[in-house]
Amino acid sequence: MMQIHQLSLSLYSSSRLLIQLIQNSLNELNLTYPQFLVLSVLWEEDGLKVNEIGKRLYLDSGTLTPLLKKLETMNYVKRQRGESDERTVHVELTYPGKSLQSKVQEAITPLNDKFIQASELNLSDLNHSLMNLLDSIETLKKAN
């Protein structure tokens, strides 16, 4: 029977190595992995509030705000305070931010193909299992 510490070690080590591989592909675009994650969320659904991005990435605003400021400096996103509530900040992709998606996809696709060949894993099934695991961990965290 696998113990939780063995699962934790496997997930931690695997995610670190996978992030390093992805980061190597992102270096040519001058993007960090966390910036890529923020952009990925916005490529799925543009015009989100900062707290909505934070919920999807499990990041607090203290971590997210500097990332968004940097992405805004790079002209990939535009931040706008809410008119009715100045505490809310909406984030939208700029044209360069939208067009960056195809460049990122182009940089990562070869890695995706190599990964599938090397691992012989069905990434869709693996992702589904990991999302179920994430839901279970979230439930446990809320119960504590």
pTM of the model: 0.86
Residues with Cβ within 8 Å of residue 101, at least 6 apart in sequence: 39, 43
pLDDT tens for 50-103 read 999 999 999 998 999 999 999 999 999 999 987 777 788 999 999 999 999 999
Please report the pLDDT score of residue 142 as a whole number.
85
Confidence grade of residue 1 (pLDDT, cut at 50, 70, 90): low
Pairwise CA distance, residues 93 & 14, whole Å: 30
Domain 21-143: CATH architecture, name and number where available: Orthogonal Bundle (1.10)
Domain ranges for the chain: 21-143
Burial classification of residue 36, based on how many CB atoms lie within 10 Å of its CB (0-12 exposed, 13-18 middle, 19 or more buried): buried
Please report the pLDDT score of residue 118 as a whole number.
73
